[in-house]
Amino acid sequence: MASEDGAGPGEAAEAEKADDGPVIDADGWEDMMDGKVRKRTVKAGKGDAVDLQRDVLCSFDVRLSLDGEILQRRKNIRYRIGESEAIPGLELALRHMFLGEEADVFCISRFAWGPAGCKAAESQEKDVPANTDVYLN
């Protein structure tokens, strides 16, 4: 997501970190991997974070900007955490989410679809271009 000054997530303000908590910037983005993957909770979940080897069910839209055109839409997709079934950035974010949580996720290309991009699965969808950073929400 670009802030009003055009900076990417986390670049608009200095990040704050609690003694034992995640790094969260002034815009609410949690830095999960040195800026390569970021997550912003939209609706809090409950319970414990997902364990490895557990199945999760999620839905998300793929965009090139946070409020941009939806390129692809995935509904009720099942992933097993730790099996590399999801793109790396999504799997990392899911690993840190809670039941019922809704979040925006930013992934640089390397942690999204990388040089292969992602072909549209449906005729009304669009391809995710190669080497493209994405937002999932």
Query: Tell me, what's the pLDDT at 12?
Result: 44
Q: Which long-range contacts (CB under 8 A, 24 or more apart) does 119-123 make?
A: 120/71, 120/72, 121/72, 122/72
Grouping H, G, I as helix, E, B as strand and the rest as coil, residue 55 is strand
Query: Tell me, what's the pLDDT at 5?
Result: 39
Indicate the pTM of the whole model: 0.83
Mean pLDDT by 10 residues, the chain (137 residues): 41 50 88 95 94 94 96 96 96 95 98 97 95 97
Query: Tell me, what's the pLDDT at 32?
Result: 94
Query: Tell me, what's the pLDDT at 22?
Result: 79
Q: Which helix (H) or strand (E) holds 134?
A: strand 134-136
Do the beta carbons of residue 112 and residue 131 sit within 8 Å? Answer: no
- What is d(CA 120, CA 71) in angstroms, rounded to the nearest whole number? 8
